Amino acid sequence: MTLHRLLLLSAVNFCLGMYGMVVRRNVICVLMAMELMFNAVIINFIAFAHYGNGHATEGSIFPIFIIAVTACEMAAALAIILTMYRKMHKLDVHRLDSLNG
Amino acid sequence: METFFTTNSWVILLMPFLVFLVNGLFLGKRSWRAAAYFAVACMSVAFFFAIKIAIGFFSHVHEHSYIKGWEIEWLRFASADILGFDLVANVGMLLDPISIMMLVVVTAISVLVNIYSIGYMKEDPSAGRFFSLLSLFSFSMLGLVSSTNIFQMFVFWELVGASSYLLIGFWYHKPSAVSASKKAFIVTRFADAFFLAGIIAVSYFTQTFDFIELNKLATVETLNRYAFLGFGTVNVLTVGTLLIFAGGWGKSAMFPLHIWLPDAMEGPTPVSSIIHSATMVVAGIYLTARLFPLFSHSPLTMDVVAYVGAFTALFAAVIAVTQNDIKRILAFSTLSQLGYMLFSLGVSKMVVEEGGAINSLGYSASMFHVFTHAAFKCMLFLIAGQVIHVVHSNNIWDMGGLRKKMPFTYVSCLIACLAIGGIWPFAGFWSKDEIILASLQGGHTVIFAIGLFVGGLTAFYMFRLFFVTFHGESRKELHHVHEDPFMTFPIVVLAIPSAVGGYFAKDLFHHAFVPNMPLHIHELSHPHWLPWVATSMGLSGIILAYFFFGRNKFTQASSIAKAMGPLHTVIENKFYFDEFYLFMTHKVAFRFVAAPIKWFDRKIVDGVMNLTGFLLHAGGAIVRFLQTGQVQMYLSVMILGLLYFCYRVF
Amino acid sequence: MSTLLTITWLIPTITALLILFIPKDNHMGVKWLCLFSTALNLALVIYLTIAFQASVAEIGTGADGSQIKLHWTQVVQWIPMMNIEYRIGVDGLSILMMLLTSLIIFCGVLASWGVKEQAKEFFILLMVLVAGVFGVFISFDLFTFFVFYEVAVLPMYMLIGIWGTGNKEYAAMKLTLMLVAGSSLILGGMMGLYYASGLDTFNMLELAKPGLYSASFQQWAFPVLFIGFGVLGALFPFHTWSPDGHASAPTAVSMLHAGVLMKLGGYGCLRVAMYILPEGCMYWKDLFLVLVTFNVVYGAWGAIKQTDLKYITAYSSVSHCGFVLFGLMALTFIGVQGAMLQMISHGLMTGLFFALIGMIYGRTHTRIVNDMGGLLKNMPFLGVSFIIAGLAGLGLPGLSGFVAEATIFVGSFANTGMLNRVCTFLAILSIIITAIYVLRAANAMLNGPLDEKYAHLTDATFVERIPVILLLIALFGMGIAPGWIIKLMEGAVAPMVNNILRSVV
């Protein structure tokens, strides 16, 4: 394993996540795609922490941070989605466009 | 000579102002009778002061040509420490022959009219207000005639106009009175705007408002040096004096700004008597006389003054012959007499070939006529009021046969008519004779002829009025005809100067009333036939009037009127000037200027502002389509943008 | 003394805060508190005016120089980063404007004694507005000036939008948008002044020193600032907010807006645009002279055909405020002095007009003049006051309008330019048109036979009489004895005019 490959994995992961965010219509799927992107970032952190020079601790702490924050975020986001579903009975992002001009 | 009375001449102004305040704020609402007596008392004090000043001044008339009673600074436009020159409008009292004469006339007539109004207004519920406003007028008029400077004159000039407006519209519930008051104010205001422009122009070049300074020869030279508006060949003297004269043109109701005066008769008759015949309307003549030394150096201005006056004299007299409303006849007669006074000033212009001489006869004759006219015209209006009070109609054809029922009025009216008709030895004869003589001496043959002819015409229309009103048989059922003592007293008092005032005052006017300028008076010819011709013109007018109207048969008169046909109709309708002005204001000015401007402002200017708003709004409407609300679209655009950015950077 | 200056705008601010603590239903409490605070303010400003005269006697007016001589200066650092200061002081002009403001607001509070709905909020906004106006007149730091200016302008939106009548949302929106557009121009111009000077200061007196700005900068910055302030001063063609805004605004707001706020426009035009940028002023003088002459004449013509009392008054305001700008563009000492006199005179007069219109409207429930008639019979007090206000409007001597207008005409004629002369004549002739519309309105409303449906109406109440009488006294006072006002003003106007004319000679 080299840094190179890890970064490639991360990039692929990120692109998949981005693709998923743009094309998926279900809100929950969009959320999951977002999660994929977070994970790509985490992979980057760890890879650099491992292969980088001298900043191993910071590189390891940030993933934990991100995981914690993501968890909170997920909780909040799921709560919002749940409420939204209850109110509007839909989870299709294409139809959730009440902010249109 | 400075005396107690000249230094305290402010009392003359204070008295009417005090009456105005006290009556307007307190007395008027409570008891109009108290207000009236208060007004009479205060005006009598003012009259007393005026008389004392007059006696003091005229008994030492050769010592000085003027006295400044008092003067205080009022409005400072520029001070020397900032601009390097002073331009200050003062308030004060200038006492010289003409202003003292006017002070006496105005205070005397104020007293008499106030007394008269006690009788005339006794049934009016708002009589208290009347006495207050009448005093406001007296105050303004006294301030006007005693102004030390032209700016002060303009101030009081406007106040006079405003009080005239308030008094014409005194019966504010009468639509005709209201529109008459508006008309009077706006027409005179129109002239006043030019007056103000003239004051400003002249004062800019001379840096003074003071009459004494303005009348100096140095002023003439200064004004002659500058071109008006900074270019062209027209100098400031001509334009400035013409502009200033425009003020007098409107106030004295000279043709073609005469239209307001006949309508102003809608006001109470005492008002017509004091304001619209005896005092205010002579303000224009007074202004011209006041600035006579300045005016006389501009030949064009003097010609305008002369011809406007002469034309109005003729024009108004012709209309007066056809009118049926007693007050309107008197109003047109006033216009005609004002024309006399004005052209009398105009004809005494410089006679160039005699080394710049001024014929001061025209000047003193004009002032003389102001004096005599004030007496007999005020009286005529009071008589008209008396008659209207009894008959309850303004139409002379509703009257008739009042000779027996109102003996005092009848005799007084005869005296007044003889005076205005210019019959020896009544007052009007002396002043009118001098005016006609002055125009002959000035070489204005046309004006001389007009003066003579109008003299006859005057006698004719006045005696038409006299015969129709007092002679013949009663044409209307009249109850309780009586002569109110309050109303009769002033009429009888005024009969005295109307009868003999001319004879006794003529020497005084001839010697004391000369313009305050270096004069080279030449003894000009005084043809002996002139008084005879003038009197015979008047007498023939009277005889004609008797022939047509004195014998209680009006068939000849109406047949002549019929024979004149359309001409008579045109004259009777005052040459349709009112209609013309109405057309010009309502149809042209309002419809073609004001209405389009209103439309332009609301639709175009405001429209552009609204259009700006609309365009912004429309721009927003386009931009809003970009806001689809599709989160994923935003995201893809963002990503594409990021990619493009990366591409450009790396 | 400088603390007292600060207190003038602190009083309304604190009043606004105190009103917050008054229960919502206690309308009378709110009104009495406002009345008390405005009375206090009036007393304070009167005291300051008297003290100012003593101060002038002591240290002079500075009329011979081109530098404004400030009295009671106080400087407090505010935002050090940009060297923004709370710099206050007064000269003869600002003290007079403060006097006018405090009088108008006192009368305005009395005139809005009848406000019933949401009185609390109404008076809070009114007080905030007044605080802003006072702040503007004492500020000599451009930035602080601008902040106060915005504080004064913005409450108008809500005051008209909530308590107005008629098409109030539209009017409020239009007024606010146009004024804010003007403000944005001012802000831009102000920033230009700040950066182009290179002095790192907003101090007006420093910025006005000669030779600071290049001619080309002055040429573009002057119109920006002049139009920016001119919008508030109803400069043609940016005056259209005025008829709609004034017609919809409630009484006290109309009074304050036409009486005081529009004066901020003329004040700013002189103090900021012309004083700081004299060369720019000279460059653009012909264009603006023509525009303001248009203002004067066109505003008067526009008023003739209007039938709504408030529209008539609003157009007459356009015409009269045009006289303010006209006097300024005369570019002579007398003319500028006349313009300042006209600001005060118009403030008093239009304040009285709107107060009376509010009172009459409160009775007849119509403002269309042709629907009324004969009101003089049962409302003698209101009617006579209206006639006096009208006569002041058409420039009758003895009332304030004449003094101001005559001074403007004299001053404008003193400018020897041919265009100036022609414009002066046009402006003089406009007094005829003024007479026409004033008399048309007064006659249609007050004279003639009394309509049956108005027969039961009564004259002004005691509370209503107080502001009217106060304003009438002020109108007469200024008209009869203008001397002391001119004396106070001379020292303030002269340095500014010297600075403007400096660039010519």
Instruction: Dump pLDDT digits (tens) for B411-426.
Output: 889 999 999 888 888 8
Q: Which residues of C touch B601 (CB under 8 A)?
A: 240, 298, 302
Mutate to test the interface with A, among B622, B627, B632 (most CBs of A within 10 A): B632
Q: Which of B130, B146, B162 is the last residue of a domain?
A: B146
Query: Within this chain, do residues B34 and B11 fall inside the same structural domain, yes or no?
Result: yes
| Smallest Cα distance from C417 to chain B, Å | 8
Proportion of chain C above pLDDT 70, given as a percent: 99
Of the candidate ranges B301-310, B478-487, C174-183, the one whose mean pLDDT is the lowest = B478-487
Number of domains in chain B: 3
- What is the rounded distance in angstroms from the CA atom of residue C282 to the CA atom of residue C288? 10
Contact assessment for residue C450 and residue B201, using Cβ atoms and an 8 Å cutoff: no
pLDDT, tens digit (0-9, with 9 covering 90-100), for B279-299:
889 999 999 999 988 888 888
Query: Within this chain, do residues B135 and B152 fall inside the same structural domain, yes or no?
Result: no
Q: Which residues of A touch B642 (CB under 8 A)?
A: none
pLDDT at residue number B229: 61
Structural domains of chain A, ranges and CATH numbers in brackets: 3-88 (1.10.287.3510)
pLDDT, tens digit (0-9, with 9 covering 90-100), for B2-38:
778 888 888 899 999 999 999 888 887 888 888 899 9
Among the residues of C330-457, which ranges form H helices? 333-364, 375-378, 380-393, 400-414, 418-446
Q: Chain A residue with minimal CA distance to B625?
A: A101
Q: Chain B residue with minimal CA distance to C306?
A: B598
Mean pLDDT of the region C319-326: 92
pLDDT, tens digit (0-9, with 9 covering 90-100), for B513-560:
877 776 656 566 678 888 888 888 888 888 888 888 877 677 777 777
**Domain locations along chain C:** 2-58+71-502
- B92 SS3 class: strand
pLDDT, tens digit (0-9, with 9 covering 90-100), for B35-50:
899 999 999 999 999 9
* Confidence tier at A92 by pLDDT (50, 70, 90): confident
Cβ within 8 Å, pair B635-A96 = no
Query: Within this chain, do residues B200 and B224 fall inside the same structural domain, yes or no?
Result: yes
Which uninterrupted H or E stretch holds C54?
helix C27-59
The per-residue pLDDT of chain C, averaged, comes to: 88
Cβ within 8 Å, pair C63-B82 = yes
* Confidence tier at B193 by pLDDT (50, 70, 90): very high
Query: Within this chain, do residues B548 and B405 fall inside the same structural domain, yes or no?
Result: yes
Q: Name every residue whose Cβ is closer than 8 Å to that of residue B479 and which is 6 or more positions away in sequence.
A: none
* Confidence tier at C132 by pLDDT (50, 70, 90): very high
**Total length of chain C:** 505
Cβ within 8 Å, pair B193-C394 = no
B479 in reach of chain A (CB within 8 A): no
**Greatest pairwise CA separation for chain B in angstroms:** 123
B182 in reach of chain C (CB within 8 A): yes
Contact assessment for residue B270 and residue B385, using Cβ atoms and an 8 Å cutoff: yes
pLDDT, tens digit (0-9, with 9 covering 90-100), for B319-357:
888 888 888 899 999 999 999 999 888 887 655 455 556
pLDDT at residue number C227: 92
**Total length of chain B:** 650
* Within a domain: B451: yes
Contact assessment for residue B435 and residue B344, using Cβ atoms and an 8 Å cutoff: yes
pLDDT at C45 over 90: yes
pLDDT, tens digit (0-9, with 9 covering 90-100), for B471-523:
877 777 777 777 788 888 988 888 888 888 888 888 888 778 877 776 656 56
Give me the total of CB pairs closer than 8 Å, taking one residue from chain B and one from chain C.
148
Contact assessment for residue C236 and residue C302, using Cβ atoms and an 8 Å cutoff: no
| Smallest Cα distance from B607 to chain A, Å | 27
Q: Roughly how many angstroms between the first and final C-alpha of chain B, as a whole number?
A: 106
Tokens encoding B442: 């000035």
pLDDT at residue number B357: 64
pLDDT at C152 over 60: yes
pLDDT at B94 over 70: yes
Contact assessment for residue C93 and residue C56, using Cβ atoms and an 8 Å cutoff: no
pLDDT at residue number A99: 73
| Pairing mode, strands C71-79 and B87-95 | unpaired
| Pairing mode, strands C71-79 and C84-90 | antiparallel
Question: Among the ranges B313-317, B505-509, B627-631, which has the highest mean pLDDT value?
Answer: B313-317
- The residue behind tokens 């007006």 is C204
- The residue behind tokens 């003592």 is B485
Among the residues of B207-298, which ranges form H helices? 211-214, 217-225, 236-251, 260-263, 269-273, 283-290, 292-295
- B481 SS3 class: coil
* Within a domain: B368: yes
| Smallest Cα distance from C279 to chain B, Å | 21
Tokens encoding C146: 């601008």
| Alpha-carbon separation of residue B139 from B21, B156, B378 (angstroms) | 11, 9, 18
pLDDT at residue number C63: 67
pLDDT at residue number C349: 92
Task: Quote ipTM for the complex.
Answer: 0.92
pLDDT at residue number C301: 87
Query: Within this chain, do residues B98 and B188 fall inside the same structural domain, yes or no?
Result: no
pTM for the model: 0.88
* Within a domain: B581: no
Q: B615 lies in which domain range?
A: 593-649
* Confidence tier at C61 by pLDDT (50, 70, 90): low
pLDDT, tens digit (0-9, with 9 covering 90-100), for C229-250:
999 888 888 888 888 888 888 8
Closest CB from C174, C397, C414 relative to B159: C397
Torsion of CA B527, B532, B533, B535, to 10 degrees: 130
Cβ within 8 Å, pair B613-C177 = yes
Mean pLDDT of the region C381-405: 90
Proportion of chain C above pLDDT 90, given as a percent: 32
pLDDT at residue number C504: 61
Query: B226 versus B447: which is more confidently predicted?
Result: B447
- B423 SS3 class: coil
pLDDT at residue number A84: 87
Q: What are phi and psi of B275, to 5 degrees?
A: -85, -50
pLDDT at C342 over 90: yes
The per-residue pLDDT of chain B, averaged, comes to: 85
pLDDT at C404 over 70: yes
Q: Which residues of C touch B608 (CB under 8 A)?
A: 237
pLDDT at B228 over 70: no
Query: Within this chain, do residues B45 and B181 fall inside the same structural domain, yes or no?
Result: no
Identity (one letter) of the amino acid at C474?
A
Mutate to test the interface with B, among C423, C432, C493 (most CBs of B within 10 A): C432
pLDDT at B144 over 90: yes
Mutate to test the interface with B, among C69, C408, C410 (most CBs of B within 10 A): C410
Query: Within this chain, do residues B471 and B603 fall inside the same structural domain, yes or no?
Result: no
Q: How many CA atoms lie within 13 A of C33 on its CB side?
A: 24
B631 in reach of chain A (CB within 8 A): yes
Mutate to test the interface with C, among B21, B79, B82 (most CBs of C within 10 A): B82
pLDDT at C401 over 70: yes
User: Closest Cα to residue C335, out of C393, C293, C384?
Assistant: C293
Proportion of chain B above pLDDT 90, given as a percent: 22
pLDDT, tens digit (0-9, with 9 covering 90-100), for B263-277:
888 888 899 888 888
Query: Within this chain, do residues B560 and B634 fall inside the same structural domain, yes or no?
Result: no
Query: Within this chain, do residues B127 and B198 fall inside the same structural domain, yes or no?
Result: no
Identity (one letter) of the amino acid at B106?
V
Contact assessment for residue B427 and residue B497, using Cβ atoms and an 8 Å cutoff: yes
Torsion of CA B506, B510, B511, B512, to 10 degrees: 80
- What is the rounded distance in angstroms from the CA atom of residue B210 to the CA atom of residue B516? 14
Query: Within this chain, do residues B82 and B213 fall inside the same structural domain, yes or no?
Result: no
pLDDT at residue number C183: 92
Q: Which residues of B touch A98 (CB under 8 A)?
A: 629
Query: A11 versus B546: which is more confidently predicted?
Result: A11
Query: Within this chain, do residues B141 and B151 fall inside the same structural domain, yes or no?
Result: no
pLDDT at residue number B147: 92
Query: Within this chain, do residues B476 and B606 fall inside the same structural domain, yes or no?
Result: no
pLDDT at residue number B349: 64
Tokens encoding C421: 């002369």
Mean pLDDT of the region C108-136: 89
* Confidence tier at C104 by pLDDT (50, 70, 90): very high
Beta bridge partners of C75: C87
Cβ contact C–B (≥3 pairs, < 8 Å): yes
Question: Among the ranges B192-196, B437-441, B507-511, C205-209, which has the highest mean pLDDT value?
Answer: B192-196
Mean pLDDT of the region A41-63: 83
Cβ within 8 Å, pair A21-B624 = no
pLDDT at residue number B350: 53
- What is the rounded distance in angstroms from the CA atom of residue C61 to the CA atom of residue C95? 13
pLDDT at residue number C166: 81
* Confidence tier at C405 by pLDDT (50, 70, 90): very high
Q: Name all contacts of B211-214 with Cβ < 8 Å and 24+ positions apart.
A: B211/B94, B211/B147, B211/B148, B211/B149, B211/B150, B211/B290, B211/B291, B212/B66, B212/B94, B212/B148, B212/B516, B214/B150, B214/B291, B214/B294
| CB-based burial, B459-477: b 16+ in 10 Å, e otherwise | bbbbbbbbbbbbbbeebee
